[in-house]
Amino acid sequence: MSNLDGLISAPQAAELLGISVKTLYRNSYTYDDFPQPTRVGRTVLYDPDKLRAWRYDHPPRGHADTR
């Protein structure tokens, strides 16, 4: 992805998913289908649309599936 518009930082991504930044990073190597970030130097950026789609397929524990 060459256009960085719309990408969000790791803290923003964690907030979007309702998890800690540590859990965000853990998810990236625990789940094969977790959206991988775009790296710009040492900065890690995520596509919020891909994160929302992943969250839809993986609801938080303790929440009923409302689909």
Beta-carbon contacts of residue 51 (< 8 Å; ≥ 6 apart): 13, 16, 17, 35
Q: How much is the pLDDT for 30?
A: 93
Say if residues 43 and 9 touch (Cβ distance below 8 Å): yes
What class, spelled out in words, does domain 8-57 have in CATH? Answer: mainly alpha
pLDDT tens-digit readout, 16-28: 999 999 999 999 9
* pLDDT confidence band for 1 (50 / 70 / 90): very low
Name the residue ranges covered by the structural domains of the chain.
Answer: 8-57
pLDDT tens-digit readout, 30-58: 999 999 999 999 999 999 999 999 999 99
